[in-house]
Amino acid sequence: NIGMIDVTYKGDTPTFNALLVPASEFKEVSENPAVKEIVDETAARFEEEMSQIVLENNPVELEGDGAYGRTRETNLGNLIADSLYDYGQTGFKDGQTDLAVINGGGIRTSIEKGKVTKGDVLAVLPFGNTIAQIDVTGAQIKDMFEYSLRSEVQKDESGKPIIDETTKMPVLGRNGGFLQVSESVKVSFDPREQGAGNKPEDNQKGKRIWSIKIKNRQTGKFEEIKDDQVYKLATNDFLAAGGDGYTMLGGKREEGPSMDVIFTEFLQ
């Protein structure tokens, strides 16, 4: 279809009428050569920019398919979260990052083996999100992960839970807010327990999490989080502002560069 918008002004006040017209109705319309020249030139510049090599030889397939990234931990999700954590060790003025997360729905595709281009990175992270760091308490972190793990377990046609081949545990249903995490945090949970519910205000009903441990940067050891302790969380600006239902987050935040830039530099 072709989108068309008619705008009529009465003084300074516009009235809009928008409609979709089948492209077949425009078969007899010839291209405007001046516009075509602009489009072709822009497309050529874009293609040149996107073909720039970020990584000469990626040795493994990095899994970003929604069927995985929205239901379980993946290597690509871990890698992106690790890049945010790595940036947060030196990139923010207000302290070092303790843990980093990204919503699975923010990862849009996989990265194949072999050469990785700038276009590949932007296909994975197409939204132009920036990194952001916020202060969160241990209690907020618990609420955040319970909400991340809220989905009901997937079942087969007979009604039996579908089991993950790696973890040997039931697979959660697809959820764009499922959090991929950095190597500095370990979350132990049981998907067989009751989830937190589908609404942010249901967070307290969650009973799936057994343990959340964060790595102490000084000792390198993982320690159980404390409800009243304040931690530095790095994520994208969308989640930091409470997006995807993460209303337990928000508040004052420090922002940094675009995530695709951070991820590119981390890969290199």
> Do 262 and 84 contact (CB within 8 A), yes or no?
yes
Average pLDDT of 201-216? 78
Q: How confident is the model at residue 165 (pLDDT cuts 50, 70, 90)?
A: confident
Residue closest to 120 by CA, chosen among 192, 54, 71, 213: 54
Q: What is the 3-state secondary structure (H, E, C) of 141-156?
A: HHHHHHHHCCCCECEC
Give 138-164 pLDDT, tens digit per residue: 999 999 999 999 999 999 999 999 998
Does the pLDDT value for residue 195 go beyond 80?
A: no
pLDDT value at residue 193: 77
pLDDT value at residue 198: 54
pLDDT value at residue 135: 97
Percent of residues, the chain, with pLDDT higher than 90: 85
Average pLDDT of the chain is 93
Half-sphere exposure of 193 (CA within 13 A, CB side): 12
- Residue recorded with tokens 């049981």: 190
Residues 6+ apart with CB under 8 A from 215: 98, 183, 184, 185, 221, 222, 223
pLDDT value at residue 122: 97
Does the pLDDT value for residue 202 go beyond 90?
A: no
Q: How confident is the model at residue 205 (pLDDT cuts 50, 70, 90)?
A: low
Give the strand pairing for 53-58 and 13-21. Answer: unpaired
